[in-house]
Chain A
């Protein structure tokens, strides 16, 4: 791999041990993926933040790296934690867990993530990390990656854990994969004939397409979407997140809607075709047969202001019998508070928590064994990572479940 003089100097240790390790990681990853050289990135999204996931070994590694003087070189945002960083006790977390989770975030803060005050979220594009079309970034978190590539037209691969940190410390990543134009053409053309109404319907569609697509780039036609749809971004966010969870999708295009597709069809010279007539199987594939629900979780990926407004409106003059938690980024909650949306949700017995992702939380330790969610990605990780039973259903059904107490 060709390195600049500066990159070579860093790799040889001239920039200190923290930077040397970061360069080793970036170079190794680039080598594995066949990159000829490294490219600068404008921002980074880091994953591997939940203490439940990375454990004491991960925490120890992060602290060592931070103590060696690791400092990010580009604007860097952080993935969700397992808990609300301020209101974890209300969620049922123990003080011991909270202390460890705090130490993880502190290590990143020490590295300069979030200008020293990280705001953990899987929706960095809602809180100012919103790269322009064509810009190169190094993001981890599969739903953020697919959003950056597909909805914003930026360019990133699916970075992971330490690799993303290394990209932040060096400001570099390998020039491979989705950074290259030829890799952004679709090899799967998906014709959607199914009726699509709610945000969840797009999530269910994504669950089906993701399974079929694997790592392939898809080009979707037939979606009833246009720029005037007030929930356009929410629907695309849900669609992509589901694809990235059930498959390994990093990029999709929607004919005439997403930025790269607006210039013309983004199809590779040869491609496969898939026709989808119905999204109901998408719901069924991610639902367990459960008799009662312990928790309703909304906000996977983290809720936007419009999604919080939908929840508030659906809960108006109703009371929930089952915990109902909305998760979102801290700044989004602050706006929701100003708009009176959080009071509406809390008046109904619901809660709006920040920073956290319940899919990477120790849900059973918190007393939850069955969770309803309007997110296919949420249902996928509830079952496969949090190891609880899940029900994937549209928002209105989830709310009705919470209100009825679901017997």
Chain B
């Protein structure tokens, strides 16, 4: 684990929880209904920056949700299968993801500058506090 500096953001609490994990960051909104496969956790939306990647166990960071209110149940389906994100961090929450996080017991915070978090960063969520440990030198090793 990198011992580089950490940054703590204080966001707005949507769903209380304490968890740590690796960030998976999207610059684009995520629509869970039709955009994420509820049985595998893989992002399926064509052309999405995270297409093909799996959200399971990640601290999923994205600007906001979008799409149908049934998307809340996709998050619930992931949770019952053990494939839910470890936590959700949004720039600005909307109801579908917020309700999905609550009914699935996924810790969630919004009003956090998602551009400051990068895929691979180590993140700790504690209530409304989001602490981010960036990767050393900002470089992701390309070896093996």
Distance in Å: Cβ of B142 to nearest Cβ of chain A? 38
**Interface bits B84-126 vs A (CB < 8 Å: 1, else 0):** 0000000001111011001100000010000000000000000
What DSSP secondary structure best describes chain A's contact surface?
Answer: helix
Min distance, Cβ A24 to any Cβ of chain B, angstroms: 5
A32 touches B95 (CB 8 A): yes
Question: With an 8 A cutoff between CB atoms, is B77 at the interface?
Answer: yes
Cα–Cα, bound, A29→B74 (Å): 19
List of 5 A-B pairs having minimum Cβ-Cβ separation, nearest first: A57-B77, A160-B69, A58-B73, A161-B69, A57-B73
Task: With A21-B102, A60-B80 as known contacts, state yes or no: A161 contacts B15, CB within 8 Å.
Answer: no
Q: In residues 259-312 of chain A, which contact B (Cβ within 8 Å)?
A: none
List 19 A-B residue pairs with CB atoms under 8 Å apart, sorted by A's residue number.
Answer: A21-B102, A21-B103, A28-B14, A32-B93, A48-B69, A48-B70, A54-B70, A56-B77, A57-B38, A57-B73, A57-B74, A57-B80, A60-B77, A61-B73, A61-B103, A160-B96, A161-B72, A162-B99, A162-B103
Given A21-B103, A60-B80, A162-B103; A28-B98 close (CB under 8 Å): yes
Residue A163, interface by CB 8 Å: yes
Q: A33's closest neighbor in chain B, by CB?
A: B95
Given A25-B103, A57-B38, A163-B99, A31:B14 Cβ within 8 A: yes
Interface centre among B77, B80, B95 (most CB of A within 10 A): B95
Chain A contacts with B in 141-166, Cβ cutoff 8 A: 160-163
The B-contacting residues of A in range 57-97, CB under 8 angstroms, are 57-58, 60-61
A67 to chain B, nearest CB (A): 14
Contacts of B95 in A (CB 8 A): 29, 32, 160, 163
Question: Cβ of B72: which chain A residues have Cβ within 8 Å of it?
Answer: 161-162
Q: How many angstroms from the CA of A58 to the CA of B33 in the assembled complex?
A: 12
Whether B129 is near chain A, meaning CB under 8 Å from some CB there, is no
Q: Any chain A CB within 8 A of the CB of B76?
A: yes
**Is A53 an interface residue, CB under 8 A from the partner?**
yes
The number of residue pairs between A and B whose CB atoms lie closer than 8 Å in the complex comes to: 65
Please determine whether A31 and B12 come into contact, CB atoms closer than 8 angstroms. yes
CB distance from A30 to the nearest CB of B (A): 11
A55 within 8 A of B: yes
Among B63-78, those with CB < 8 Å from A are 69-70, 72-74, 76-77
The chain B residue sitting closest to A385, CB to CB, is B68
Tell me, rounded to whole Å, the shortest Cβ–Cβ distance linking A111 to chain B.
Answer: 15
Residues of B within 8 A of A24 (CB): 15, 102
Q: Give complex CA distance A55, B39 in Å.
A: 12
> Taking CB as reference atom, which chain A residue is nearest B74?
A57
* CB neighbours of A29 from chain B (8 A): 95, 98-99
Provide the residues of chain B in CB contact with A60, threshold 8 Å: 76-77, 80
Q: Once the chains are docked, how many angstroms separate the CA of A35 from the CA of B96?
A: 18
Contact call B76/A28, Cβ cutoff below 8 A? no
